[in-house]
Amino acid sequence: MSTPVTTPKSPVRLRAVDAPDQPDVTPALEDLYRGFEQELLVPLWTEIGDLMPAHPRSRAVPHLWRWENLRRLAAQAGELVPVGRGGERRAIALANPGLGGRPFATPTLWAAIQYLMPGEDAPEHRHTQHAFRFVVEGEGVWTVVGGDAVPMRRGDFLPQAGWNWHAHHNATGEPMAWIDGLDIPFQYVTEAQFFELGRDEIGEDERITPERSRSERLWGHPGLRPLSVGELTPGTPLLSYKWEFTDRALADQLALEAEGFGGTVEPGHAAVRYTNPATGADVLPTLRAEMHRIARGAETAPVRETGSSVYQVFDGSGSVTVGDRTWTVTRGDLFAVPSWQPFSARSEAGSTDSDSGALDLFRFSDSPVFEALQLNRTRIEGTTR
């Protein structure tokens, strides 16, 4: 199982970046460093600046991917690349330019556009990687999770915890695109992954498109738990968080604020977190998902957090700042926020395609990992928070 190791030597750096006080390079030290290499050892003192920085300095960089480009290339792939066993999904992932060409939006997060042609199926499989779908446009595809068909429409959020069988089917005459978010990079670096193939064909009786999935009928009633459900598996039992509820929750917060009762995170900034109704915790053990609405003309305070996020513009337009980059964004655009880079967003009145003038941002992050391990830190610039 272990691959042959042709160059077992570790490259000790004689002058490490960020490790200023190195001993003088003498022949004896060179001998020592050759001894280290021979024995597969690396000293701390040449590496400490990289390994133990004063604060997180992400290898990932702030980056923006335009939806129009993603959409165009995905459509091209729809013509050229079949979907089926082996490749499993016609998914095209964001590759952060700081991460050496790997398909990692951030060091822990996978974000991809998935594309399904009319009538196509993506075959059933399951994996330990936690996943979700978020729909920025279109409708007509449904995801079948453990035999439960979940319709997908603009604004819907579909989490799906690891090790559940799932497949997709495009029931319409039009292609459809959406985004997939997973913890693939996190499970890749921690090496926790299992994967199994399922049925090659979805049952005919699963091809009906219901208005609501069975999971929503059991779990989609606010504050009400079905007594028929016993032991719970990891992750949320609710497989779809429909846009109508998310939209209403955000509108309610802004209305409460307007009436003088607070309810928002900060002035003009409403936000909800998608949670597991059985526990109140995040929908997935390793992934957090939220929807933020920034009212016309409002701006959020810059926030730094340990851990990384990916955002997609769901509606409206405005500008977002990540570290030293600022972009004007519009519907569908995706961008990565690396660890400890300050992030803020502004809704730009007038230039919007939405009725309300609000900027709606879907966000997902690896925060549950940091919170479970007590590694989370947040700093809000310019405030005492």
Q: Which of residues 46-75 bind a second copy (CB under 8 A)?
A: 47-48, 51-63, 65-66, 69-70, 73
Q: Which stretch binds a second copy (CB under 8 A): 164-172, 219-227, 295-303, 311-319?
A: 219-227
Nearer to a second copy, 3 or 384 (CB): 3
> Which span (45-53, 134-142, 165-173, 351-359) binds a second copy, by CB under 8 A?
45-53
User: Would you say 253 and 262 are in contact if contact means Cβ atoms under 8 Å apart?
Assistant: no
Q: Is 164 in the site for a second copy (CB under 8 A)?
A: no
Residues between 303 and 332 that touch a second copy (CB under 8 A): 306-308, 323-325
**Considering the rule CB under 8 A, would residue 76 count as an interface residue with a second copy?**
yes
248/258 Cα distance (integer angstroms): 15
Q: Is 290 in the site for a second copy (CB under 8 A)?
A: yes
Find the binder of a second copy among 149, 150, 179, 184 (CB under 8 A). 184
Looking only at residues 4 through 23 of this chain, which bind a second copy when binding is defined by CB under 8 A?
5, 8-11, 19-23
Determine whether 68 is exposed, middle or buried from the number of CB atoms within 10 Å of its CB (0-12, 13-18, 19+): exposed
Contact by Cβ (8 Å): 180, 198 = no
Two tokens, residue 139 = 């409708």
Residues 126 to 155 in contact with a second copy, rule: CB under 8 A: 127-129
Among 201, 252, 353, 381, interactor with a second copy by CB under 8 A: 252
* Residue 279 interacts with a second copy (CB under 8 A): yes or no: yes
Residue from the set 116, 238, 303, 361 that interacts with a second copy by CB under 8 A: 238
Helix, strand or coil, per DSSP, at residue 121? strand
Degrees to nearest 5, angle at CA 319 with 313 and 325: 105
3-state secondary structure of 303: strand
In the complex with a second copy, the residue whose CB is nearer, 125 or 154, is: 125
C-alpha to C-alpha distances, 210 to 142, 144, 152, 178, 205, nearest whole angstrom = 9, 11, 10, 19, 11
Q: How far is CA 74 from CA 64, 86, 351, in A?
A: 17, 18, 27
